[in-house]
Structure 1
Amino acid sequence: MAIAIMSWTMGTQLLLLVLFITVIILAQRLFQTFFRNKDEAHVWIKVEPIGVSSGGIFSWTRAVIGSVFSYQQDTQDGYDKFCKAQNRPFILPTMWTGGSVVVLPPSLLYLTQKVYPSMARHQAKMDHLQLPYMISDRDVIDNLIQFDIARKKLRQAEVVSSLAAITEEEIDVAFRKSWGTSETWTSINAWDNCTRVIAQAGFRILIGLPLCRDESLLEYARMYANYLFKGTSIINCLPPFSRPVLARIISWPSKYYQAHCRRILRPLIEQRIRELKDHKAGSEKPDDFLQWLIEHCRKLDPKEMEPDKISDRVLVLCIAFIFAMGYIFCSSVLDLYKSSEKTSFVAGLVAECKRVSAEYGGLSTKQAVDSLYRVDSALRESMRISDVGATSIPIDVVSGKVDLGNGIQIPPGMRMVFATQPMHLDPESYLDPLRYDAFRFSRKYEDTEKSEQELGERELCTTITESFLPFGYGKFQCPGRWFATQTIKQALAYVVMNYDIEFDSRQYKRQALLNMMLPPEYVQMSVRRQRV
Structure 2
Amino acid sequence: MASGGGAFLCSTLLSDVHLLQHDMDQSAQLACILLAVLCATLYLRIRFDTLRTIPTIGPSAPVLSYIAAYKFLRNAQEVLQEGYNKHKVFKVAMLDRWIVVVSGAKMNEELRRLPDEAMSFIDAADEITQSKYTIAPDVQKHPIHVKVIKEHLTRNLAPLLPDIAEEVDYSFQELIPAKQDEWLAVPAYKTMSEVIARASNRVFVGISLCRNPQYLEIASSFAAEVLRGCTVMGLMPNFLKPIIGPHLPWSRRAIKRMAPHVIPIIEQRQRQLEAHGEDWTGKPNDLLMWLVEEANHAGLANNMNLLVQSILTANFVAVHTSSITFTHALYHLAANSQYTEILRDEVESIIQQDGWTKIALGKMWKLDSFLKESQRVNGTSHISVMRIALKDVVLSDGTMIPAGTFVAAAATSTHLDEENYENAEIFNPFRFSDKRLEDGEKNKHQYVSTSSEYIGFGHGKHACPGRFFAANELKVMLAHIVLNYDVMFENEGKKPDNIFVATTVLPAPDAKVLFRKRSL
One-letter amino acid of the structure 2 residue matched with residue 348 of structure 1: I
Note the residue ranges of structure 1 that are not aligned, 5 or more in a row.
1-28, 83-87, 446-450
- Note if 1:211 corresponds to 2:209: yes
**Residues 460-499 of structure 1: pairs in structure 2 closer than 5 A:** 460-499=446-485
**What's the secondary structure of 1:305's corresponding residue?**
coil
CA contact (8 A) 2:331 2:513 kept: no
Could you tell me which residue of structure 2 aligns to residue 420 of structure 1? 411
The change in CA–CA distance for 1:354 and 1:288 in structure 2 (over 3 A counts) is same
Alignment partner of 1:143 is 2:153: no
Q: Normalising to structure 1: TM-score of the pair?
A: 0.83
Describe the shift of the 1:253–1:367 C-alpha distance in structure 2 as closer, same or farther (beyond 3 A).
same
Partner residue, 1:7: none
Give, in whole Å, the separation in 2 of the partners of 1:37 and 1:138.
36
Shift in alpha-carbon separation, 1:454–1:480, aligned structure 2, 3 A: closer
Q: Is 1:113 equivalent to 2:113 in the alignment? A: yes
1:48 aligns with 2:55: yes
| CA RMSD across the alignment | 2.6
Residue from 371, 379, 399 that aligns with 1:379: 371
1:15-48 CA-partner distances (Å, limit 9, x unpaired): xxxxxxxxxxxxxx9xx7797597744x423x21
Question: Is the 1:94–1:101 Cα contact (8 Å) retained in structure 2?
Answer: no
Indicate the residue corresponding to 1:349 in structure 2.
343
Whole-angstrom CA distance in 1 between matches of 2:159 and 2:281 = 20
* Separation of aligned partners in 2, 1:335 and 1:34: 52
Structure 2 partner of 1:5: none
Distance 1:455 1:299 in 2: 41
Provide closer, same or farther for how the CA distance between residues 457 and 393 of structure 1 changes in structure 2, counting only shifts above 3 A: closer
Deviation at 1:300, TM superposition (A): 2.9
Amino acid at match of 2:408: V
Q: How many residue pairs end up in the alignment?
A: 476
Tell me how far 1:444 sits from its aligned partner.
5.6
**CA separation of 1:113 and 1:452: change in aligned 2, threshold 3 A:** same
In structure 2, distance between residues paired with 1:260 and 1:417:
35
1:452-467 correspondence to structure 2 within 5 Å: 452-453=438-439, 459-467=445-453
**Unpaired runs of at least 5, structure 2:** 1-37
Say if 1:63 and 1:209 are closer, same or farther in 2 by CA, change over 3 A.
same
Distance 1:51 1:252 in 2: 35
In structure 1, which of residues 496, 499, 513 is the aligned counterpart of residue 501 of structure 2?
513
Q: Aligned runs of 1:248-287 on 2, under 5 Å? A: 251-253=248-250, 255-279=252-276, 282-287=280-285
The answer to whether residue 59 in structure 2 is matched with residue 60 in structure 1 is no
Cα deviation, 1:208-255, whole Å, max 9, x if unaligned, reads 122221122112211122222243244324433444455567x43454
- Counterpart for residue 398 of structure 2: 407
In the alignment, is the contact (CA less than 8 A) between 1:189 and 1:522 conserved in 2?
Answer: yes
1:165 aligns to 2:172 (yes or no)? no
Q: Could you tell me whether the CA contact under 8 Å between 1:225 and 1:254 is conserved in 2?
A: no
1:333 and 2:316 equivalent? no
Q: Secondary structure at the match of 1:527?
A: strand
Q: Which amino acid aligns with 1:236?
A: G
Larger deviation, residues 504-513 vs 240-249: 240-249
Using the TM superposition, give the Cα deviation of residue 469 of structure 1 relative to its aligned residue in structure 2, in angstroms: 0.7
Give deviations 1:310-341, integer Å, cap 9, x for gaps.
Answer: 11111111112211222211221112222xxx
Q: What residue in structure 1 maps to residue 427 of structure 2? A: 436
Q: 1:332 touches 1:382 (CA, 8 Å); kept in 2? A: yes
Q: Which stretch shows the higher mean deviation, 304-313 or 463-472?
A: 304-313
Deviations 1:253-302 (A, max 9, x none): 45434432222222222222222222266544111111111122123334
Aligned pair in 2 of structure 1 residues 35, 413: CA closer, same or farther (>3 Å)?
A: farther
**Offset from partner CA, 1:417-473 (integer Å, 9 cap, x none):** 11111000112222222221111112366xxxxx75377655110121221111111
Match status 1:175 vs 2:161: no
The secondary structure found in structure 2 opposite 1:195 is: helix
Query: How far apart are the structure 1 equivalents of 2:447 and 2:153?
Result: 16
Corresponding position of 1:308:
305
Return the offset for 1:405: 3.0
Contact 1:237 1:514 in 2 (8 A): no
Shifted more, 377-386 versus 463-472: the winner is 463-472
Letter in 2 for 1:425: L
Structure 1 counterpart of 2:468, which letter? W
Shift of 1:103: 3.3
For the residue of structure 2 that corresponds to 1:170, the secondary structure is helix
1:497 Cα deviation after fit? 1.1
Distance 2:318 2:196 in 1: 7
Indicate the residue corresponding to 1:132 in structure 2.
132
**Native 8 Å contact 2:152 2:290 kept in 1:** no
Instruction: Tell me the SS of whatever aligns to 2:207.
Output: coil
Letter in 1 for 2:367: V
Secondary structure of 2:92's match? strand
Alignment partners' CA distance in 2, 1:105 and 1:378: 24
